[in-house]
Amino acid sequence: MSNEVNEQELVEVLSAQTKVAPAVIRLVLKHEQAFINKAKANAKGEVDIDNDDLVDYVTAQRDVKLDELTVETILDAEMDYLMDKGLAGYID
């Protein structure tokens, strides 16, 4: 199994689940990636992302015109997709 995410497939799945336009989902994912890139990894190389902080960061971006609930719904659907593909998980 590849560790690569098919972005087109991901965006299509998220759009179908959330009823949000693909271009808007790509924008949310772009800001999410910027937030993750700034996060510090722990000793195991894992990055612990606080979902509330992430949602706040994305909604604070000037080009994002979504409410917190919609952003959270998109990010939750993305996490479900990545977990189904075996590419992500939650740290206990």
CB 19 within 8 A of CB 74: no
The pLDDT score that the predictor gives to residue 1 is 40
CB 88 within 8 A of CB 79: yes
pLDDT confidence bin for 67, thresholds 50/70/90: very high
Question: In this predicted model, what pLDDT tens digit does every residue of 3-12 receive, in sequence order?
Answer: 567 889 999 9
Contacting residues for 10 by C-beta, under 8 A, at least 6 apart: 29, 78, 81
Q: Residue 90: how many CB atoms within 10 A of its CB?
A: 8
H or E element: which one contains 16? Answer: helix 7-18
Asked whether the predicted pLDDT for residue 92 surpasses 60, the reply is no
Question: In this predicted model, what pLDDT tens digit does every residue of 32-44 receive, in sequence order?
Answer: 999 988 888 888 8
